[in-house]
Structure 1
């Protein structure tokens, strides 16, 4: 007895199929011929199953990364006095825009001037 439910087996199958299909699609978009792209997708799905099979893996939705990208775009659009315009454009409050600018400015400063200790 394997100890896994049919529902879990179906989800695992869907995940690996989606990985194979996605890899093949991305490779085709980059000019790789379909048979080779599909072969690479299946090889990656096989590798994941072999290497990570049996592990409990939680894949984050990575919303923090997406927010960081949005914050960077807002900071790049900031010209010193367009808080209201940015708030409207990004469907945020002005307070939210001020916070983003402050965080982005701090990250930028920390990147340009590392701490001494």
Structure 2
């Protein structure tokens, strides 16, 4: 495993040197070299980086480097990229937990377009998750054998 990690790091180091050359090339020249699917990936990544507060030009450069790394390691093969629905649901559920105050079920039901029974199930699950974070199972390590 350590040997594989070292090989990956060496390869990534070499790739990183190539990707860093992108900083010296004009934006329009770079853009003409990307296949359509990678250009779309760059647009998505750059938009999120801008939303996170990076300047537009810096976001595009960073997104280009990230897309280049993804293309290098995953490119040329059929690769299923999940939509992330489970992650979005988990984040939504955490947001519901954070916004719940004990008296705002109607508001949460409207905001998240969920029935109250569904909200109660989410809150029950979130309560258990948050309790486990705060108060770990005392017998967990012994039962894991």
User: Aligned residues, how many?
Assistant: 103
1:30 is matched with 54
1:106 is matched with 128
TM-score (norm 1): 0.67
Query: 1:23, CA displacement in angstroms?
Result: 4.3
2:108 is matched with 86
Cα RMSD between the aligned structures? 2.7
Q: Which runs of 5+ in 1 are unaligned?
A: 1-11
For residues 28-58 of structure 1, the C-alpha deviation after alignment (integer angstroms, 9 at most, x for no partner) is x5136x3x65554444333322222233221
Aligned equivalents of 1:86 and 1:24: distance in 2?
A: 32
Change (3 A) 1:71 1:44: closer
Q: What is the 5 A alignment of 1:53-68? A: 53-68=75-90
TM-score (norm 2): 0.56
